[in-house]
Homo-oligomer: A and B are copies of this chain.
């Protein structure tokens, strides 16, 4: 049936064979020449390179992969993007991956569960490695990757699973924030956590509480749902509803996005930040730097975190049997206008 014969001649790719014919050599010579094999003479190499440029040759990444190489693809499993921190992380990962010649393939994005489709994609496309930022169901991913020999690095998650991880020193950062607030004269604290207990959130709660306990204090625990603006807002409303005598004079939320919700709720109910209540967060997302928020927070070292994560991943791609490694990077206290010195006594 020569019905669709006209569809065929449309696009003919430039391959090593095209170049080989043009140069009068074998295709293997072209392959070696372009890959800098020292066995090929300089003259031949340059001649072939010239033809390649002339024809606009681009090696087919898929064929190269099939022939035993790496695909250059890294699978991305991303958490809830309603939290701008994950968006910033995505942006940084994409930029740094591109600089290293890697292409990010999105396997999953969002807070909901990971579908079977994702797992299939992970197996069908020969992903060299995986970067995971979502905790939910990450165990399945890690498990599957482990069985198939695909290295995994967790970003911003510490896990007991077989995988390396890079994370901020959540415990230390939260503790440092607690000590800072204590030093400012605050004595009545609220701690806003998230219901969906991620390792990150738990560590921050713990670090904050422990530092307060060292000063003989205990925070009022408020939780308002998941780690989102709305969750923080709900917690803030609950706090604003307290009788003034019981109301804390400093709030620490385990994520900036929640802290912003807390601030908005407090202000909406007539409380001033920082005059009446100091508010602090963790992450340092872009929104926190807005003059209307000016949130005091613990800045996560995003760029070094991603760099370290890719370092770990690439090392394990080249040497699959390297042992798992857990990296902790210290956060930095960023002081803004949402917190304020309290007079020593009431």
Contact = CB atoms under 8 A, between A and B. Distances in A.
Interface string A271-305: 00000000000000011001110000000000000
10 contacts: A10-B320, A62-B65, A63-B66, A73-B125, A81-B90, A91-B110, A103-B106, A103-B125, A104-B106, A264-B292
A137 to B, nearest CB: 15
Interface of A: 7, 10-11, 58-63, 65-66, 71, 73, 76, 81-82, 84, 87, 90-91, 94-95, 98-99, 101, 103-106, 108-110, 115, 117-118, 120-121, 123-126, 148-149, 229-230, 233, 264, 267-268, 286-287, 290-292, 320
The 9 closest A-B pairs by CB, nearest first: A61-B124, A58-B123, A264-B292, A11-B149, A62-B62, A94-B109, A104-B106, A61-B125, A98-B117
Contacts of A95: 109-110
A71 B62 contact: yes
A291 B233 contact: yes
A258 to B, nearest CB: 13
A289 to B, nearest CB: 10
B62 A126 contact: yes
